[in-house]
Amino acid sequence: MDYDVEPVLRHAFRARRLWLTQHAAVCAILLLASIPAPGPTAGVVVFGLLLTGAARWIGGRRPKAWQLVLAALVALPLLYGLAAAMLTQSDGFGQPDGFGQPDGFGQPDEFGEYGTAPVEPVPAEGSTWSPYLLMLLIGVAVLAVTVAVRSTMLRALTVELRPGQAGRGAIVPSPRVEEQIARLSLAQRGNILLHSGDNPFLGSGGVLRAWSMAMELKPDEGGDRPVSVDPVELNRYVKRRLAALRGADLREAERMSGLTLRDQIVSAGVGGQGWPLVDVAALVPYSHATPQAMESVIRHPQASVRHFLRATVGANVTPVHSPDGRMLIPGEHHSIAVSTFTHLAVEGGMLYVETVSTVLGPLGPRYRRIDGYPDGTGVAGRALLESCRDFGESVALAPVRLVGCLRRMAGLARAMRRAETGVIEDLGDFGARFDLRQATSAARPVTYLQRLDAEKYTKLIERRISEAVIGYLRDAGIDTSEYERRMNVYNNSGVFINGDNYGAAAAGPDAEAVRGDDAGRAAKGKDD
């Protein structure tokens, strides 16, 4: 909920086109250069292989056995061609045998005898360029291509996609891909979550903790008759109380400014023909439910779809200002998101409350490298530096990467054709299986402050939910003593055990804990 997937997807397709252009251009340079100068071209490729192997070995990415065999099969013919070309060019006179004789036996003299008259050296025909100079020219051409592509990429990341930049991102040439990106962009802001598998909260991270309770809805003045409660009004009241955490009546530094609230319908993405959550014409699930449909789902807790109130807090650290307005410590984004899903159901004269708190960890280090780049300045120098660093892989792996790019593009085209020509009977499991943000994030908070924020916001939201439910029920004349007693134990009590403890433990007011053998001895004592 703290990022927009549309610019990310557009940049991904643009990056694929750029990589395809680079690999194709490098392969074309090597192919064209191999016609007049096969030896120097082979030398550039061998040099690239050596650089790639050395860089990966130093970086700890040691090649596997099959990779070494494949590299040897490629390098040995190239080395042979390079050596042959170097020996051919070494004498500089076009004499293959190295003795100044084109056939190795000399020329007949004026008496018709062989091997007595010296032969004048004949300059070699063709190019007189040094093979090392040709290798340098080929390398410079490859480097120019990689620098141009890398500069375009860095400029897009540091200028077009920098934080706060408005715009949808790069234009995708394919109309079919544009249509799919627009559909995903709309779906990410929807209120219907269809999941595949056993994780109904895909995209929100791992479960931090969960609790649930059920209580009887009986009047406060006593009696056993059930009291009617409107679940829609209860949900709205809880939502208003959560929204007050970011209310304008609080000081700016005290507001939970990163709080977002959303009603969501959650269901398993499994259904046959006629399933109402699937657009039969487009063969895609619906992403938005109307307010009327949302209320109907809340009032029917036994349906195959359930309502959850989602409260998400992006753990943004606000800046610290002095009393005179000077900034002392700038703000920082801890790159985690804490979500609490609350399900309220009124059924059988009882109230069921369930909350599931999740935390989405920070992005992995490889996805935060762009934070170290300057904001649009020094792009050319950085591109040159990175291109020189990756020169070996750019040369040696260009054909392999080109084939990989073409294979992925062909696979995407086939998948889109299957989706466009499919029928409703093909839809068996159409739930979400993958979330981009969660797939690139750590499973848990990494630093102490991230763990502290996750625990803090979870407790604050859970406490506000409990107080809101109690307040609404109390105003409706419903006995809340059971709910309050359980929440006091849950929110305010804890057990901390250090070392070895094999006895019973209890927490909370009036709590008791008896070990099994102690209970037997106690019962025996009473009998005696």
339 and 390 within one domain: no
Q: How far apart are CA 124 and CA 89, in angstroms?
A: 9
232 and 185 within one domain: no
**How do residues 459-479 score in pLDDT, each as one tens digit?**
999 999 999 999 999 999 999
Q: Taking each helix axis from N to C terminus, what angle separates 65-90 and 131-155, rounded to the nearest 10 degrees?
A: 140
At 515 the pLDDT is: 45
247 and 146 within one domain: no
Q: Are 195 and 431 in contact (CB under 8 A)?
A: yes
**How do residues 284-302 score in pLDDT, each as one tens digit?**
788 889 999 999 999 999 9
pLDDT surpasses 90 at 446: no
Q: How far apart are CA 354 and CA 308, in angstroms?
A: 9
312 and 264 within one domain: yes
**Confidence label for 95 from pLDDT (cuts 50, 70 and 90):** very low
**Confidence label for 93 from pLDDT (cuts 50, 70 and 90):** very low
393 and 325 within one domain: no
pLDDT surpasses 90 at 87: no
Q: How far apart are CA 114 and CA 146, in angstroms?
A: 57
Q: What one-character DSSP code corresponds to residue 282?
A: T
Report pTM: 0.73
Q: What one-character DSSP code corresponds to residue 157?
A: I
Is 503 a domain residue? no
**Confidence label for 62 from pLDDT (cuts 50, 70 and 90):** low
**How do residues 205-248 score in pLDDT, each as one tens digit?**
999 999 999 999 999 887 777 788 999 999 999 999 999 999 99
**110: exposed, middle or buried (C-beta count within 10 Å: 0-12, 13-18, 19+)?**
exposed
**19: exposed, middle or buried (C-beta count within 10 Å: 0-12, 13-18, 19+)?**
middle
**How do residues 323-352 score in pLDDT, each as one tens digit?**
887 877 776 666 789 999 999 999 998 999
pLDDT surpasses 60 at 91: no
Q: Taking each helix axis from N to C terminus, what angle separates 5-34 and 175-187, rounded to the nearest 10 degrees?
A: 150
Containing domain of residue 480, as a range? 192-362+441-492
At 344 the pLDDT is: 96
At 497 the pLDDT is: 36
Q: Point out the domain boundary residue: 440, 461, 476.
A: 440
155 and 40 within one domain: yes
Sorted by sequence, the CB contacts under 8 Å of residue 287 that are 6+ apart come out as 186, 187, 189, 190, 191, 192
357 and 401 within one domain: no
208 and 155 within one domain: no
335 and 217 within one domain: yes
User: What does the block give as tokens for 316?
Assistant: 């943004």
Is 433 a domain residue? yes
Q: How far apart are CA 62 and CA 47, in angstroms?
A: 18
pLDDT surpasses 80 at 438: yes
Q: Point out the domain boundary residue: 379, 413, 440.
A: 440
Percent of the chain clearing pLDDT 90 (strictly above): 32
Q: One-letter amino acid identity for 443?
A: A
Higher per-residue pLDDT: 321 or 114: 321
At 27 the pLDDT is: 94
Is 105 a domain residue? no
Higher per-residue pLDDT: 206 or 374: 206
Q: How far apart are CA 432 and CA 418, in angstroms?
A: 18
Q: How far apart are CA 11 and CA 250, in angstroms?
A: 39
At 122 the pLDDT is: 47
Is 528 a domain residue? no
Which range of 351-360, 420-429, 509-518 scores highest in mean pLDDT? It is 351-360
Sorted by sequence, the CB contacts under 8 Å of residue 345 that are 6+ apart come out as 231, 301, 351, 352
At 503 the pLDDT is: 42
Percent of the chain clearing pLDDT 70 (strictly above): 73
Is 334 a domain residue? yes
Quick one: average pLDDT of 35-59? 81
Run of H or E including 420? helix 398-421
Residue 20 CB: number of other CB atoms within 10 A?
18
36 and 158 within one domain: yes
At 113 the pLDDT is: 53
Residue whose C-alpha is closest to residue 40's, from 71, 87, 93, 86: 86
pLDDT surpasses 50 at 455: yes
Measured in residues, the chain has a length of: 528
Q: Are 454 and 338 in contact (CB under 8 A)?
A: yes
Q: Are 315 and 276 in contact (CB under 8 A)?
A: no
Residue 194's SS3 state is strand
Residue whose C-alpha is closest to residue 393's, from 73, 51, 31: 51
Q: What is the CA radius of gyration of the chain?
A: 35
Q: One-letter amino acid identity for 387?
A: S
Mean pLDDT score across all residues of the chain: 78
Is 102 a domain residue? no
Higher per-residue pLDDT: 36 or 167: 36
Sorted by sequence, the CB contacts under 8 Å of residue 351 that are 6+ apart come out as 214, 215, 216, 217, 229, 344, 345, 469, 473
**How do residues 139-166 score in pLDDT, each as one tens digit?**
999 999 999 999 998 888 888 777 666 6
**273: exposed, middle or buried (C-beta count within 10 Å: 0-12, 13-18, 19+)?**
exposed
User: What does the block give as tokens for 25?
Assistant: 């251009």
Q: What one-character DSSP code corresponds to residue 359?
A: E
User: What does the block give as tokens for 344?
Assistant: 């309220």
456 and 417 within one domain: no
Is 100 a domain residue? no
434 and 467 within one domain: no
Q: How many domains does the chain have?
A: 2
Q: Point out the domain boundary residue: 440, 456, 479.
A: 440
pLDDT surpasses 70 at 101: no
Is 499 a domain residue? no
